[in-house]
Structure 1
Amino acid sequence: MIIKKYVGKTENEATEEAKKELGANIVVMNVKPMKKTGFFSFFKSQKIEVTVALEDEPEMPVVRSVPLHKDMVVNSQRDTIAAATLNATKLREDKDIREDNSAIEEKLDNLSSLLEKNFLKSERDVSEPIPDQAEDTAVKTSQKAAVSEETLSFIKLLYNTLIENEVDEIYVNQLTDEVEKVSKPGLPFDYALANVYQKMVLKFGKSEPIDLEKSGPRAEIFIGPTGVGKTTTIAKLASELSVPQKKKVAVLTIDTYRIAAAEQLRTYASILEIPFRVIYSVDEMKQAVEDFKDYDYIMVDTAGHSLHNDELKQDVESYIRALEDIIECENFLVLSATTKYRDLIEIADAYSEMVTYKLIFTKMDETGAKGNLYNVRMHTGAPVAYITNGQNVPDDIAVFDAQKIVKHLLGGK
């Protein structure tokens, strides 16, 4: 007995291939869709696997000593078919045939371009309203039943990719649930992909960097824990504002606990030829604002502190309240992208009790997982203003670009 498998786009195609090799006397034992394998399996078209059997040609006997009875022939055929069925069952449990994925993987090597292309193509389609989160069980069951195998594969890949990028599971489940809601029978995966892309970009919202059009003076206050890069970030922004933007900038620091930080800022200010002052009291802060009332921006560095140091927290808050009483203020919470998610949430909540703020994420070059940006944005609702990706002043800072981050979170380069 010869038993072999053949694969084709249709059952007829696979069967014809079998007939070409084994002849017209084959018996089709099993027909099944092939299991798709590989990271990009949902891009493949469905293949059909046909298992066929062919009985070996009998040797011609020299002498036929015993004639075969009709019942014997029938029983023999039954035994042959039963044996073939057992063999076919065993073969079905064997490892599925793997196809070469190199062409697909090469095509999708840079998912960023694919995302952008599909987003633009599907923009009108995905603009239709998404159903509310609360739906009855019957509707949800019906929708899940209608989701195509391709979409289910995409949802699984989406889930794994976002989790790998350290997006919190709560937000990942929200996104995958919404994919199921908008998926319809027959729609290609790129519809779901474009929808997720658009939704995540919208959830990040528009970046809110320092407004260059507003008239001064304005206080730009930088808060955050120790060691996240507040001082370097201030130097980068002061350089950007004073040199290419030609704005009048002064730099103040109320961080009298770290002499090195103050000296670092003093050095940068000297290079940029902008005023710098160390502030030791609220009265000195008020006097500095009066002295620099003709300036566009007053950049204020604050002391990083432990969340459990109530005395230092109250000290920083008193300076901020004094500034808010005499000048327009804007607060930036500076966070490191390398900090653990649980700690980021604790820090963000602690500063939320003090002030309203925008977000700056530093040390982006020191982590491959960018999910915490999405997590903190979703948790706080605060807009992301800037990201920094190195120590070089003033080069390693950029206005936050939601599209780039979302492409990265979805697996693009």
Structure 2
Amino acid sequence: MIIKKYTGKTEAEATEAAKKELGSGLVIMNVREVKKKGFFAFLSPKQIEITAALEEENPRKPQYGSITHTTDAPVENRNLFVRNSTENIEKKLDSLQTLLESQLNSRQATGEETGTHRETVSEEKEKKDSEAETPEKKEEEQNPEQDKFIRLLYNKMLDNEMDEKYVNSILEDASKTKKADLPFDYLLANIYQKMVLKFGKSEGITPSTDGPRIVLFIGPTGVGKTTTIAKLAGKYCVEDKKKVALLTADTYRIAAAEQLRTYANILETPFRVIYTPEELQTAVKDYWDCDYIFIDTAGRSHQNADQLEKMKEMVGALKDPGNYHVFLVLSATTKYRDLQRIADCYGKIADYELIFTKLDETEAVGNLLNMKLYTGAPVAYVTCGQNVPDDMEVFNPQKTVKQILGGKE
């Protein structure tokens, strides 16, 4: 992992500088305002500093954990560099470390073994390698406190309904740092950074260079597609002063079409019901002067092949894939096994990014990372209530990772 800082007059300027050096696959870990130091510093304009991170495709084996340091300084300075680079991350995690340590101490005091019903990948590895290791090597590598700390994180991640294989994969790297006898905050920051990078970054809805940006919303029934469209339309119409047309292909539920028509009337934006792929093509031509065209679709059962085929025909009516964007809308309350089946079925229709709804109805958000890793599709937006357009936001991986690890919201 490469972690570097960049400054600019604006966040966009600093981000552009980071992309030129690290590429577009970077993740912004932190943004803050900085001022130059010195006697005449007050005369200098404020600058924006970003901390950018990049997971290397073929990383060399790092000496300390999984962070690749961009300095040839001595070991002591490198440790200082790591601690400084994780300072903002520790602030984001608030009292997570204290929470975990207090639980650890509490369980020790009562004699309760932490996580005895679950076995981490580090424990499995230790069992396999125990016969080959000498007593001296075992004594050198053992770190009981760090073992228990990692096990607590392991249980926290499982409690948040993360898939066990992803938990094991993430903690496997962290378990390697035990040999260095590093403090808890290093391990915590290491795991946090890894998880944020695994989420990656979504560009969301971007403007089109030729005609309107066409955005389709697909997904099973009952996940809140229509309300999600209304929230996004409200943002672009009211806040960004863009011209948005609303279309619906949901001809199965009269209430859904009327709901979207009501939102269109409030926003004073064009609205049309479409029944066939040909009508969709006509509507796109008629609203070519708009900035965005949002298309609601009927909620389909992922187990109904005929319904999914009709939706595929509707998407196929849009000839230029580079001009439209597809979002698969999922409920955060749906079981992971069902989410996998839904994603597999809709993946046959089009490439998509993810929107998760109903975050206010669950305390376990591990499925967001599960689905990112399972599908490879970025999470673009999340919703957390019925209020239009307030209860919707651009996905924040830092916030979600903190929740998965047991931190405060």
| TM-score interval, smaller chain | 0.5 to 0.7
| Counterparts of 1:337 and 1:327, CA distance in 2 | 29
Letter in 1 for 2:239: P
Which of residues 235, 249, 253 is equivalent to 2:230? 235
Which of residues 325, 332, 335 is equivalent to 2:327? 332
SS at match of 2:324: strand
TM-score between the two structures when normalised by the length of structure 1: 0.66
Is residue 281 of structure 1 aligned with residue 342 of structure 2?
no
Which of residues 36, 40, 43 is equivalent to 2:101? 40
CA RMSD of aligned residues (A): 2.7
Tell me the alpha carbon deviations over residues 11-44 of structure 1, each in whole angstroms, 9 at most, x when there is no partner: xxxxxxxxxxxxxxxxxxxxxxxxxxx9625877
Q: Which residue of 2 aligns with 1:356?
A: 351
| Counterparts of 2:407 and 2:311, CA distance in 1 | 41
Q: Which residue of 2 aligns with 1:380?
A: 375
**Number of matched residues?**
291
- Cα deviation for residue 159 of structure 1 reads 0.8
| Counterparts of 1:412 and 1:220, CA distance in 2 | 34
Tell me the alpha carbon deviations over residues 66-115 of structure 1, each in whole angstroms, 9 at most, x when there is no partner: xxxxxxxxxxxxxxxxxxxxxxxxxxxxx98679xxxxxxxxxxxxxxxx
Tell me if structure 2 keeps the 8 A contact 1:242–1:249: yes
| Counterparts of 1:219 and 1:188, CA distance in 2 | 50
SS at match of 1:172: helix
| Counterparts of 1:143 and 1:324, CA distance in 2 | 62
Give the gaps of 5 or more residues in structure 2.
Answer: 1-98, 112-124
Letter in 1 for 2:398: Q
| Counterparts of 2:197 and 2:305, CA distance in 1 | 37
The 1:145/1:172 distance shift into structure 2, 3 A limit, reads farther
Is residue 394 of structure 1 aligned with residue 365 of structure 2?
no
Which of residues 352, 356, 365 is equivalent to 2:360? 365
Letter in 1 for 2:248: T
Is residue 345 of structure 1 aligned with residue 340 of structure 2?
yes
- Cα deviation for residue 324 of structure 1 reads 3.3
- Cα deviation for residue 152 of structure 1 reads 0.4
Q: Which residue of 2 aligns with 1:113?
A: none
| Counterparts of 1:144 and 1:304, CA distance in 2 | 58
Tell me if structure 2 keeps the 8 A contact 1:147–1:185: no
Tell me if structure 1 keeps the 8 A contact 2:153–2:405: yes
- Cα deviation for residue 154 of structure 1 reads 1.0
Identity of aligned residues (%): 56
Which of residues 151, 160, 168 is equivalent to 1:156? 151
- Cα deviation for residue 211 of structure 1 reads 1.6
Tell me the alpha carbon deviations over residues 265-309 of structure 1, each in whole angstroms, 9 at most, x when there is no partner: 000000000000000112211111110111111100111111222
SS at match of 2:330: strand
The 1:40/1:263 distance shift into structure 2, 3 A limit, reads same
The 1:147/1:210 distance shift into structure 2, 3 A limit, reads farther
| Counterparts of 1:265 and 1:294, CA distance in 2 | 21
| Counterparts of 1:182 and 1:398, CA distance in 2 | 36
| Counterparts of 1:338 and 1:283, CA distance in 2 | 36
Tell me if structure 2 keeps the 8 A contact 1:205–1:383: yes
Q: Which residue of 1 aligns with 2:187?
A: 192
| Counterparts of 1:154 and 1:375, CA distance in 2 | 23
| Counterparts of 1:391 and 1:181, CA distance in 2 | 44
Which of residues 169, 178, 182 is equivalent to 2:173? 178
Letter in 2 for 1:371: G
The 1:402/1:327 distance shift into structure 2, 3 A limit, reads closer
The 1:322/1:196 distance shift into structure 2, 3 A limit, reads same
- Cα deviation for residue 327 of structure 1 reads 7.3
Tell me if structure 1 keeps the 8 A contact 2:104–2:152: no
Is residue 260 of structure 1 aligned with residue 255 of structure 2?
yes
Equivalences for residues 119-130 of structure 1 within 5 A: none
Q: Which residue of 2 aligns with 1:309?
A: 304
Kindly name which structure, 1 or 2, has the bigger radius of gyration based on alpha carbons: 1
The 1:144/1:347 distance shift into structure 2, 3 A limit, reads farther
Which of residues 241, 249, 262 is equivalent to 1:246? 241
Letter in 2 for 1:40: E
SS at match of 1:183: helix
Tell me if structure 1 keeps the 8 A contact 2:221–2:299: yes
SS at match of 1:240: helix
Q: Which residue of 1 aligns with 2:58?
A: none
Letter in 2 for 1:250: A
Tell me if structure 1 keeps the 8 A contact 2:231–2:388: yes
Which of residues 279, 296, 315 is equivalent to 2:291? 296
- Cα deviation for residue 322 of structure 1 reads 0.7
TM-score between the two structures when normalised by the length of structure 2: 0.67
